[in-house]
Amino acid sequence: MKTIDELLTEGVAGKRVFVRADLNVPLDGGTITDDGRIRAVLPTVKALADAGAKVVVASHLGRPKGAPDPAFSLAPAAARMGELLGTGVAFATDTVGDSARSTVAGLADGQVAVIENLRFNAGETAKDDAERGAFADRLAELADVYVGDGFGAVHRRHASVFDLPARLPHAAGHLIATEVGVLKKLTEDVKRPYVVALGGSKVSDKLAVIDQLLGKADRLLIGGGMVFTFLKAKGYEVGASLLQEDQIPVVQEYIERAEKNGVELVLPVDVVTSTEFPDLKTKTPGHPHTVAADAIPADQLGLDIGPETRKLYASKLADAATVFWNGPMGVFEHPDYAEGTRALAQALLDSPAFTVVGGGDSAAAVRLLGFDENAFGHISTGGGASLEYLEGKALPGLAALED
């Protein structure tokens, strides 16, 4: 895989360089609530601009239906990128139309433009190879060189991720090179003990990665809404908690396999519950109760790991050499149910291990709860991509960057 450093050595001055970034930032109206993904691609954009390239940044945002939708415009991301770069960033109001062509044509060496949300064109996500390829052909007309740096999208077989690199000389940006290097530390020659903490709402989202980790990790810590399927699989009542009953047989098999393989599977000993899900907009105080994990009342739903579990999980991380964390331990967006996630993040910081935060809600929690991002070994920009890499899947966006 060619890197951006090699590309810069060859020279990019005067060339139009298409950077496939991941600017899929959370928005509250037109306000960006977390600019982490924009900041993550800045080293690549700045390096190219400083080398005299005409930089064309492209990304998706949200899930528009293949047509323009103002709610998913990249205009706020373009404005924020300009603020962070300290220079003007041009914005094209379409993807491959008159605005995109004229905006790119107007770039001087060292200038940056962002084109509108790629998913405003149905060809970006089309299942049909020809339709996707036709959109990639039009994108290719905007550039001389392709740089892939949107790690959060490399698990998608989309036009700008998979098809476009085949049409242009291509290289991996700084972010993708860093992300792949970190993931190799989790899959090749791993320093042990290797501890994985998994949370999030649905156990079905994590089954494939758990299947892989049962042969690689030394210890698995389970939290979040997915934990109640594990507790139910052990014969515990889980009250009104989130439960995927159809996954119980699979989880039971995993519990048995973990014991057989000598993998320590650690579940909560207590949970924080309430009779209702909290209001995340108003942050109205909830009604938290702490109960034993095997004694959840019928009218209660689990919303966080309890104080004894926090201590237990911290002790299980204390001697780790490598830690991967993906998924919050509870409803971290509400202060009454954020302490489990906060305690886990703090335990990662207290551990001597190389710590990797697996993107998505985990990365959002780190920022929301006020932790110093630089204190962790690595915070990934792609939760789904990280998980699929750990599952052993071939990621289309990485395969496309191979020579």
SS3 of residue 235 by DSSP: coil
- Burial class of residue 29 (count of CB atoms within 10 Å of its CB; 0-12, 13-18, 19+): exposed
Q: Output the six-digit token pair for 285.
A: 């105080």
Q: Are 244 and 203 in contact (CB under 8 A)?
A: yes
Residue 192 known to be catalytic: no
Active-site choice (225, 358, 360, 383): 360
Q: Are 335 and 356 in contact (CB under 8 A)?
A: no
Beta partners for 264? 219
Residue 37 known to be catalytic: yes
User: Three-class SS string for 145-206?
Assistant: EEEECCHHHCCCCCHHHHHHHHHCCEEECHHHHHHHHHHHHHHCCCCCCEEEEECCCCHHHC
Q: How many residues does the chain have?
A: 403
Active-site choice (37, 132, 310, 316): 37
How far CA 229 is from CA of 43, 84, 202, 232, 327, in Å, comes to 42, 43, 9, 5, 15
Residue 29 known to be catalytic: no
Among candidates 323, 344, 315, 324, which has minimal Cα distance to 332? 344
Residue 384 known to be catalytic: yes
Active-site choice (39, 202, 216, 367): 202
Kindly list the catalytic residues.
Answer: 37, 202, 360, 384
